[in-house]
Amino acid sequence: MKHLHLLILLPILRSAPLDLLQAAGTMLVLLGAALLARRIAAHYYQRAHAAGRTDLVELPFELVSRTNSVFLVAVAVFAGLQFVHLPPRGRELVDSALTVVTFWQIGVWASVSVSWWLERNRQMRHAEDRVAASSLAVIAFIAKAVVWVMVVLLALENLGVNITTLVAGLGVGGVAVALALQNILGDLFASLSITFDQPFFVGDSITVDAFTGTVEHIGIKSTRLQSISGEQIVISNADLLKSRLRNYGRMVERRVLFTIGVTYETPVEQLEQIPVLVREIIQGIADTRFDRCHFACHNAASLDFEVVYHVLTADYTRHMDIQQEIHLKLHREFARRGIEFAYPTQRLLMERAGPARPATYRTDG
């Protein structure tokens, strides 16, 4: 470090006083102007962001506001050093330092641009395109990773590093890294599979094994669900794709099957009326499509009718409202017609074959 100071500072001090004054003035003026411009841009961007504006014209102001002070100082120092004498080695060190700082700042700008574009798309499409909203997190990660890899490679190339040899070496070492991080990489590739295969979107109600909830966020490593009881459920993406998943968000209509049991004492004439009665009740309710009603079987304590209908909406609350209305109307109609619902009963029949034989008992149902 001592030799570095001697290499750079001594030639600078030997420069003419006017050159040193010009160098210092240039540094101060450029740094002051850059800091002032960044402050104005940050103030304008904060106002635009608070107002919810995401127009393309706002992006340059955000980029300027995200410019780091280290980069501004480095540019100001580099401009000031143009007025003083530096040896070739000192000039080379200054150029290398400026190259590293510049490419680092370019990476920051590129990442901010990617985040701005994705956020703009999220705001524009969230209400109408859940596919795009669900994949934004994964796309952002991949895009930023590509940006920083390119920035690092370009910076190394500008510093004189042979990146072809470096990439070849990283390919060999990448195998060992992949083996060590196979669980993390498994979740990463699972997130890519979810993004491209689209088994569910943000906002879908899904069931995974014994867990049911609404998809809140699809991340790089895990997916977060908001459960029915209120807590948050976090499931790794790899485990998610290995499980059997039910997606209620893709449901267009709901098929409902239920059974009506009436007593054995019900006359045949009334039994014949039940399928017609059930059809009229269901067809008279909105958002339903009647399928069938049949006298299905003789049960131990009842005569069972099997009913099937469709609810023409995926709304579970609407489904339960319809089911409740059907049951209430069935109770009213059965009470009016004198038809009794069956309930578990037993009938005891006692028979005596003769005086010399003991009594025998038989139970039916």
Q: Are residues 150 and 66 in the same domain?
A: yes
Residue 130, domain member (yes or no): yes
CA gap 208, 231 in Å, rounded: 15
Q: What is the CATH number of the domain that holds 245?
A: 2.30.30.60
Same domain for 222 and 283?
Answer: no
Cα Rg, the chain, nearest whole Å? 38
* C-alpha separations of 97 from 100, 180, 283, 291 in Å: 5, 34, 79, 77
Q: Is the pLDDT of residue 354 over 70?
A: no
Do both 245 and 302 map to the same domain?
no
* Residue located via tokens 């500072």: 9
Is 76 a domain residue? Answer: yes
**142, 84: one domain:** yes
Q: What is the CATH number of the domain that holds 306?
A: 3.30.70.100
Q: Would you state the pLDDT for residue 121?
A: 66
Q: Whole-number mean pLDDT of the chain?
A: 78
Least confident among 18-27, 123-132, 238-247: 123-132
Span of 144-148, 200-204, 324-328 with lowest mean pLDDT: 144-148
Average pLDDT over residues 326-352: 86
Q: Is residue 133 part of a domain?
A: yes
Tens of pLDDT, residues 29-59: 888 888 888 888 887 777 776 666 666 667 7
User: Where do runs of H (alpha helix) occur along the chain?
Assistant: 2-13, 17-50, 59-65, 69-80, 88-125, 130-158, 163-180, 182-197, 237-242, 268-283, 316-337
**Looking at the structure, do residues 60 and 138 belong to the same domain, yes or no?**
yes
Asked whether residue 46 falls in the same domain as residue 68, the answer is yes
pLDDT above 90: residue 334: yes
Q: Is residue 344 part of a domain?
A: no
Whether 278 and 199 map to the same domain: the answer is no
Residue 259 lies in a domain: yes
* pLDDT of 151: 78
175 within domain boundaries: no
Question: pLDDT value at position 246?
Answer: 87
Predicted local distance difference test score (pLDDT) of residue 307:
96
- Whole-number pLDDT of residue 5: 47
Of 22-36, 137-151, 224-238, 262-276, give the lowest mean pLDDT range.
Answer: 137-151
CB 25, CB 77: distance < 8 Å: no
- What share of the chain has pLDDT > 90, as a percent? 23
Do 235 and 299 reside in the same domain of the chain? Answer: no
Whether residues 20 and 88 share a domain: the answer is yes
Does 352 map to a domain? Answer: no
Q: How far apart are alpha carbons 309 and 301 in whole angstroms?
A: 25
- Average pLDDT estimate for 231-248: 86
What is the full DSSP assignment across 138-207?
A: HHHHHHHHHHHHHHHHHHHHHTT--HHHHHHHHHHHHHHHHHHTHHHHHHHHHHHHHHHH-S--TT-EEE
The reply to whether 28 and 120 lie within a common domain is yes
More confident residue, 150 or 335: 335
What confidence score (pLDDT) does residue 293 get?
A: 96
Kind and range of the H or E element at 309? strand 303-311
Whether the per-residue pLDDT at 9 is higher than 70: the answer is: no
Instruction: Check pLDDT > 50 for residue 300.
Output: yes
Question: Does any domain span residue 7?
Answer: no
**Domain extent at residue 305:** 254-337
CA distance 11 to 22: 16
Q: Say if residue 309's pLDDT is above 90.
A: yes
Q: Give me the mean pLDDT over the 134-141 stretch.
A: 65
| pLDDT band, residue 1 (cuts 50/70/90) | very low
User: Degrees (nearest 5) of the Cα angle 145, 148, 152?
Assistant: 140
Are 138 and 38 contained in the same domain? yes
| Co-location of 103 and 206 in the same domain | no
Contact in structure between 259 and 314 (CB atoms under 8 Å) = no
Give me the number of domains the chain comprises: 3
* Model confidence at 155: pLDDT above 50: yes
